[in-house]
Amino acid sequence: MSELLTGFYTSNEVILSKTEVLADYQLVCESRAVSLMGRKDVFMGRAKFGIFGDGKELAQIALSKVFRKGDFRSGYYRDQTLVAATGGLTWQQFFAQLYAHADINHDIFTAGRSMNAHYGNHWLDEKGHWLDQTEMFNGAVDVSSTAGQMPRSLGLAYASKLFRKNPYLKKFKTFSNGGNEVCFATIGDASTSQGMFFETINAAGVLQIPLVVSVWDDGYGISVPIEYQTTKGSISEALAGFEKTDGNGIEIIKVKGWDYPALIKAYQKAARIARDEHTPVLVHVVEVTQPQGHSASGSHERYKSKERLEWEIEYDCNLIFRDWILKNNIADEAELKAVEKKAEDVAKDARKKAWDACKEAISADNTLVSALLVEAVESSKADAEVVELKKQFDSNTNPQKKDGLKTLKLLSRIVSGEKIRKEIGKLIENLQAKNTHRYSSHLYSEFETSPLKVKPIKAVYSDKSPMVDGREIVNRFFDYVFSKNPLVFAVGEDIGKIGDVNQGFAGLQEKYGELRITDTGIRETTIIGQGIGAAMRGLRPIVEIQYFDYIYYALPTLTDDLASLRYRTFGKQMAPVIVRTRGHRLEGIWHSGSPMAVMIHALRGMHVLVPRNFVKAAGFYNTLLKGDDPALVIESLNGYRLKEKLPDNLHEICEPLGVPEILNEGNDITIVTYGSMCRIVVEAAEDLRKVGISVEVIDVQSLLPFDINKMILKSVKKTNRVIFADEDMPGGGTAYMMQQVLDEHGAYHFLDSKPVCISAQAHRPAYGTDGDYFSKPSVETIFDAAYQIMSEVNPARYPELY
């Protein structure tokens, strides 16, 4: 039997040894074994849910052979074989994640925060500094949302283009080796029906970037067959018009998922084209089987015909690979059975170790609970109840951490007034602190590099400080940033040639080139994705959503991927992208929205900043660029042509996050607002002063974080009355601010009057000057609300006006 096998390729011949082929076979057997065992674990109750990569093993083995250090995988929950083949996953770690082991040393990917099959590697050291990505097989942690991995795939590949073509980036050698890195994205065939997929493919074809998209085509989207999913029943045929000819476009390769040599050849070709030519490639892997169906939540026997199920057995890639090995005399039956036995043993051993470690971690907490229960039985006056509680706790054959905590709280109620209650309280506090760290840490940066730890620098003015338009201030600031930081680039609609619709980037593309300030198509989702992926690779993108209302197009990517990235990797990955947009007062249903509550709730994990002018905006941008968290900055749309004093130290200003500013001091009422409403409220405060009402106006400046020093609470202690005002819909941003101030900060203690929220009408703003006036709060709206409060306090002094 020959040790070497040749002849798989018609060009660039590759030689595979018997050792390599059998190693591949063992890995596909191991991967199949853990999939089968994982499904059983769900049915046994060891795991809550399971989704696996069975049926896709062979294609992923082939892909792994061209995956180099420095490359990126951007996938979803089917890639276990690929990650294992590149050394990024052990089967014990596979089971640890399945069991939701909340320990980064066991589930090294998400510390128990994501369901199984969500993989990524660590990009940050213990201090939050970047590791050398060129020395790693990189995986951007997976997302479950359908096609959610596609937008950031564009950015991961786009970064290679920037590193290759921008000479000023060549010195950043820990992020790129001359732009030679490929991003390998993976997706199921049904998910290609999503707009995110098409938008990414189109943008990749325009940009010409090293992106290889593998479509695992098993013919179904859960129960829905491909003919209901995709035009022509084939994504490669549907995308034929995207194929590259003389200009831009993509390369399309179609290959069967059970054909080992053809798969290797296909991926060799795809990687060469992407890496060398920076041409995106679609690898359509067809005739893929799904031995266990979509997931552990149901059986595919319910919706697949008998003939289809028989076909899936016949074309199982692992079985065909086995037959291929035998037919080509690479190994005999005995050798393969030995490999299969070894694979089974490896999987069983990994499963046992993961389960034992998971139970031991739970037991470590619950043993402390048991000890207190024993002590309580011995000392408590309510011994019968305590004995019964202990009996119930001890009889639980599969206790969770929550069971220990629940038992402690029940115990504390039973022994109320006894000495042991103090010990119970201490243990409850200890366990709650542990579980807060396990399940609620790392939403934002907890490193010294956090933007919250950037030293504030105030604006400095002199007699020579000129008054200029707001747009000139932000333009001068960006000019300075681009001149000093080569990692910064900007992409967005109309930001290049015309310098954005409000001239914030005016003249900068001509000065710094198209690679630094780049026009894009109208494609909000992948503009965000372009920024996310590039930020994952150490660049500092500023990506623009032209108008705030358009952010809805990109909201799934912002919330499912960017905002949750640091949290779901337990602080091991980050993407400090800055999303720049403009909103608030204008005219028209789709150009004047202020959907702040949507952002506040959907984007936890990002900072949401609402500067009232452009000196403030510049200060926020500077702080963010010195920090390591993602953020949304909403500039005031009607402020670009308003005059502001230009600070002498514009380039140095660092505006602190979460710190409000008092714009007008007063004693009767506190009015809390932000953004474009600041000018309206300040004007109303002046009118109120004329009738004897002293108003304290506070600009919150930052909604996430919000008033970290409780400045508004101090104001309410003084005035005993508060109004929250913004342009969001009723119950939106104002309700959030009220909850923070009254509930979180405890200001309700100091109120002498009912707190009031002033917001826009419950509809989008109507068009025209009058439409704006009657849709959103005005000076008169603010005046009337404040006057009414004071009229209730002192009707003699403030009689009814209308």
Residues with catalytic function:
591
Inter-residue contact 672 to 722 (CB < 8 Å): yes
Inter-residue contact 346 to 91 (CB < 8 Å): yes
Residue among 770, 779, 778, 726 nearest 587 (CA): 770
Inter-residue contact 162 to 539 (CB < 8 Å): yes
Neighbouring residues of 334: CB distance < 8 A, sequence distance ≥ 6: none
Neighbouring residues of 145: CB distance < 8 A, sequence distance ≥ 6: 556, 560, 561
Which element (helix H / strand E) includes 785?
helix 779-793
According to DSSP, residue 724 is labeled E
Neighbouring residues of 246: CB distance < 8 A, sequence distance ≥ 6: none
Inter-residue contact 185 to 199 (CB < 8 Å): no
Inter-residue contact 389 to 411 (CB < 8 Å): yes
Residue among 40, 168, 247 nearest 486 (CA): 168
Residue 662 to residues 659, 665, 703, Cα–Cα distance (Å): 10, 7, 15
DSSP, residue by residue, 325-378:
HHHTTSS-HHHHHHHHHHHHHHHHHHHHHHHHHHHHHHHHHHHHHHHHHHHHHH
Cis ω before 451 (30° cut-off from 0): no
What is the Cα Rg of the chain in Å?
A: 30
d(CA 655, CA 36): 54
d(CA 232, CA 234): 5
Q: What is the token pair recorded at 230?
A: 């995709």
Inter-residue contact 158 to 185 (CB < 8 Å): no
Residue with tokens 């390599």: 20
Mapped onto helix, strand or coil, the DSSP state of residue 432 is helix
Supply φ then ψ for residue 560, to 5 degrees.
-75, -30
Neighbouring residues of 33: CB distance < 8 A, sequence distance ≥ 6: 343, 344, 346, 347, 348
d(CA 140, CA 229): 27
Q: What is the token pair recorded at 209?
A: 């970037």
Which string of b and e fits 313-332 if b means at least 16 CB within 10 Å?
Answer: eebbbbebbbebbeeeebbe
**What are the E-state strand segments in 157-234?**
183-188, 211-216, 220-221, 224-225
Judging by DSSP bridges, how do beta strands 631-636 and 578-583 pair with one another?
A: parallel
d(CA 257, CA 551): 38
d(CA 238, CA 242): 9
**The CA-based dihedral angle spanning residues 718, 721, 726, 729, taken in that order and rounded to the nearest 10 degrees:** 150
d(CA 631, CA 492): 16
Neighbouring residues of 433: CB distance < 8 A, sequence distance ≥ 6: none
According to DSSP, residue 590 is labeled T
Supply φ then ψ for residue 34, to 5 degrees.
-70, -30
Supply φ then ψ for residue 575, to 5 degrees.
-145, 85
Residue with tokens 């490929």: 182
Beta bridge partners of 438: none
d(CA 289, CA 217): 8
